[in-house]
């Protein structure tokens, strides 16, 4: 069972890295002139990992994805921004998944995760740039969290539905 879980975490990490690479091919900055705005495709994997595995396993997937992606196509700053955003999103989504159905839906969890990711990145920017001026981008990033978080949540919901069909042979 342990080997199966390690393999699944490795596959999810690889998928998240590929999604991050694909995301770089379609810069959202060209459509939405907000620095740092991204689709958040890798967050589909984070949300999936949280729903199908333990929070610890999802943490490992996020940490591995951020580390490997930063080594392949990033820098120290991209590592810091991705790590803070990814970990804050993970924590918020994990907390909200415990009340999913009673307080919010999977889509709400995803939107909150997108918002948390943006907040984490702004915190990283404030620390890295040593200025609070970057906080001015936060309202724009939070506004983008809604449609982008909905896309991420909807994608994860569709994947989860297909997983149920595969598991039950329907």
Note the pLDDT tens digit of each residue in 45-72.
999 999 999 999 999 999 999 999 989 8
Please count the other Cβ atoms lying within 10 Å of the Cβ belonging to residue 91: 15
104 DSSP assignment? B
- Number of domains forming the structure of the chain: 1
pTM: 0.90
d(CA 52, CA 142): 27
d(CA 84, CA 99): 24
Q: What is the pLDDT along the chain (170 residues), one digit of tens a residue?
A: 799 999 999 999 999 999 988 888 877 777 777 776 788 889 999 999 999 999 999 999 999 999 999 898 878 888 999 999 999 999 999 999 988 778 889 999 999 999 999 999 999 999 999 999 999 989 999 999 999 999 999 999 999 998 887 776 55
Q: 141 to each of 34, 49, 86, how far by Cα in Å?
A: 7, 24, 15
Domain that holds residue 58: 2-168
d(CA 155, CA 144): 17
Q: What is the CATH number of the domain that holds 131?
A: 1.10.1760.20
């Amino acid at each position: 069972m342990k080997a199966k879980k390690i393999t699944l975490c490795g596959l999810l990490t690889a998928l998240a890295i590929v999604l991050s690479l694909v995301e770089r091919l379609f810069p959202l900055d060209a459509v939405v002139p907000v620095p740092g705005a991204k689709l958040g495709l890798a967050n589909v994997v984070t949300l999936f990992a949280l729903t199908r595995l333990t929070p610890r396993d999802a943490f490992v997937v996020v940490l591995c994805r951020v580390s490997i992606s930063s080594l392949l196509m990033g820098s120290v700053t991209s590592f810091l921004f991705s790590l803070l955003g990814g970990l804050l999103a993970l924590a918020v989504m994990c907390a909200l998944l415990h009340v999913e159905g009673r307080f919010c839906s999977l889509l709400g969890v995803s939107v909150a995760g997108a918002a948390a990711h943006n907040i984490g990145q702004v915190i990283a920017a404030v620390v890295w740039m040593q200025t609070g001026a970057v906080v001015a981008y936060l309202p724009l990033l939070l506004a983008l969290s809604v449609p982008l978080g909905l896309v991420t949540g909807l994608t994860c919901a569709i994947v989860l539905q297909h997983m149920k069909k595969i598991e039950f042979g329907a």
